[in-house]
Structure 1
Amino acid sequence: MDTRKLECFLALAEELHFGRVADRLHLGQATVSEAIRALEREVGEPLFVRTSRRVALTPGGERLRDELESPLAAVLEALAGAQRRARGVPDVLKVGYLGGGLYEYQRPVVTEFERRAPGVDLQFVELTYSNQISAIRAGEVDLSIVRMPIGAADLFRGAILMRDHRMLVVPSGHSLANRKLVDPEELAGERMIQLPPGTMTDEWMAFHLPLLTPAGRELAPGPVVATIREGLGAVARGQAVMTISQRAQQYFGHPGTSFVEIDLPPTETALVKRRGDQRRVLDELERAARKTAARYGSLVEQPELWAPA
C-alpha cells in the first residue's frame, strides 16, 4: 500500500507550507510536490491553491482531508504496530508532562489505560517551560499534559481534567508573603519571570506569566527561564515573582520563597495532541483520563472528544 502521498497530503493540509512538510516527513521538497501532484491526478481535481505567497486547501481538498484523517491514521497505526511486533518491540505511547503532570491521578489513569489498550506501554517524558508545546508539534511526544489556555490552531485538547487555584510565588520577606489572598492589582511594578521568545503562545503567557494586571497596570519583564525550578530560583534571589497552580505547590518548594493565593482565574489542565493525529490509542488515553477525573470528582468540562486548544 502506497501511503506516502496521502501522508504528504494530510501534512500539507495541516502545515500549508511545502518546506515545513518536507522537514517534518524527512523528504525533499520536490518529492512532496510530486506526491501532491500525483494525488491530484489520481483524484481528478486540484486539492490546493498555490501562489507565491501562500498555500490553501480547495473545497475538494477540505473534503478529502476530513474523510482521510481518521481512516489513514488507523491504517498507519495498524501497520506501525505490526512492524513493531514483528521486530519484537512493544508499542509505546509517549506522554509529556510539566511539573507534577497528572499528579495523584497518574497511577489510576495508567491502570485504566492498560485495561483499554493492552500491550501499549505509557512512557512519561518530563518537559520544561521551553519545550512543552514544541515537543508535541515535533512528535517528540505523542501528546502532553498541559495547563490551559494555549490558543494554537494546530493543537487539540481533551476534557478539562482538573481546575486549581492560582498561587503567587514571592521571595520570603516580600510585602505580600504573609497575605491570605493577594489582589492582582498589587502586582503593578513587580517583575514577572519570562520564557524564551516564541516558546509559548501569547495567550498562555498572558494567563500564566502576565505583564498586565486585570485593570491594565504594567508589570516589568523579569529574568528569562526555561524551567519551573529556574523560575523559583529567580524568585528566591529577589529577581521576580511568578504564578503556579495550587496543586503544583505540593511538588515544588524552594528555600527563600513563599506561596500565597492570588485572586486570578484558576488553572485548568487537559491532554493536548496534534490536530491531525487521529490515532485511536490517543482517544483511549483521553477516555481513561476522563474516567479517572470523574471518579475523583474533578472533571470540569468535556468536549465531544477533542476540541481546538
Structure 2
Amino acid sequence: MVYEEITRNFRALHDKHEVVVGVQDLPLGSPFSAVLNGEVDAAIAEMPVHESELIVGFRFPAQDQLLAVGLDHPSAHRTVIDVEELAEVDLLHRIGDAPAYWKTARTPATTPSGAPITSSAGFTSLEQGLTLAATGDCAGLVCRPVAERSLRGDLH
C-alpha cells in the first residue's frame, strides 16, 4: 500500500513539475552511500538515520519483525519466538559501508538481557539473505511485508 502511494505522488510530481524518476537498487548494507556521493537524489532506507547531511522525508509505518528460517530449522514451525531466543540462532547481517549504529539496529549484537547473538554470515541483497536463511544454517530478520510478499517455498 505504501509503495502505491509513493508511486501516485511521483506521478503527480511528473505531471505537474515534469519530475523524472529513475529506479536503482542499492545494496542493503549501504543505504546512504549513493545519496551522500551524489549518485542519486533520494533513497528509501530503513531507520534510524543520524547523518546530518540527510533529510528524512516520508516514514514507513513500523512493521513487525519476523524470523525467516529454512523449513528444516528448529524454529520453522513456531508461531512466536522471544527476542531472547535470538541468542540461539546464527543471525544474518548486512554487508556494506553503513554506519555501525544502523547495522546494529538491523542485526543486534546481543539480546536485551545481554546474551550474545552469533552472526557469521552476511548478505548484500534481499534474495541472497533469503537464500542463506533457506539453507537452515542461518536465520534472517525480515519485516512482515517482505515475509508476506515472498513467494519462496523453502522458507518459513
> Smaller-chain TM-score range?
0.7 to 0.9
2:52 is equivalent to residue 153 of structure 1: yes
More helix by proportion, 1 or 2? Answer: 1
Which residue of 129, 136, 139 maps to 1:238?
Answer: 136
Provide the rounded CA distance (Å) in 2 between the counterparts of 1:243 and 1:105.
25
Question: Which digits, 9 at most, give the CA deviation of each residue in 1:7-55, with x for residues without a partner?
Answer: xxxxxxxxxxxxxxxxxxxxxxxxxxxxxxxxxxxxxxxxxxxxxxxxx
2:9 is equivalent to residue 109 of structure 1: yes
Question: Which digits, 9 at most, give the CA deviation of each residue in 1:218-269, with x for residues without a partner?
Answer: 11122121111111111111231111111222333433211xxxxxxxxxxx
Structure 1: runs of 5+ lacking an equivalent: 1-101, 259-309
| Matched AA of 1:244 | V
| Matched AA of 2:101 | E
More strand by proportion, 1 or 2? Answer: 1
Provide the rounded CA distance (Å) in 1 between the counterparts of 2:80 and 2:3.
24
Q: Relative to 1, partners in 2 of residues 1:118 and 1:249: Cα closer, same or farther, differing over 3 Å?
A: same
Q: Which moved more, 1:147-156 or 1:232-241?
A: 147-156
Q: Relative to 1, partners in 2 of residues 1:251 and 1:137: Cα closer, same or farther, differing over 3 Å?
A: farther
Contact 1:195 1:226 in 2 (8 A): yes
Q: Relative to 1, partners in 2 of residues 1:201 and 1:131: Cα closer, same or farther, differing over 3 Å?
A: closer
Contact 2:63 2:143 in 1 (8 A): yes
CA drift at 1:153 = 3.0
Aligned to 1:120: 19
Give the match's secondary structure for 2:119.
strand
- 1:4-153 matches, cutoff 5 A: 102-115=2-15, 117-153=16-52
- 1:109-258 matches, cutoff 5 A: 109-115=9-15, 117-196=16-95, 199-258=97-156
Give the match's secondary structure for 2:88.
coil
Provide the rounded CA distance (Å) in 1 between the counterparts of 2:74 and 2:29.
30
Q: Relative to 1, partners in 2 of residues 1:250 and 1:114: Cα closer, same or farther, differing over 3 Å?
A: farther
Aligned to 1:37: none
Provide the rounded CA distance (Å) in 1 between the counterparts of 2:26 and 2:50.
19
TM-score by length of 2: 0.86
Contact 1:236 1:254 in 2 (8 A): no
CA drift at 1:161 = 3.4
| Matched AA of 1:185 | E
Q: Which protein has greater RCO, CA pairs closer than 8 Å, 6+ apart?
A: 2
| Matched AA of 2:141 | T
Q: Which has the larger radius of gyration?
A: 1
Among the aligned pairs, what percent are the same residue? Answer: 23
TM-score by length of 1: 0.46
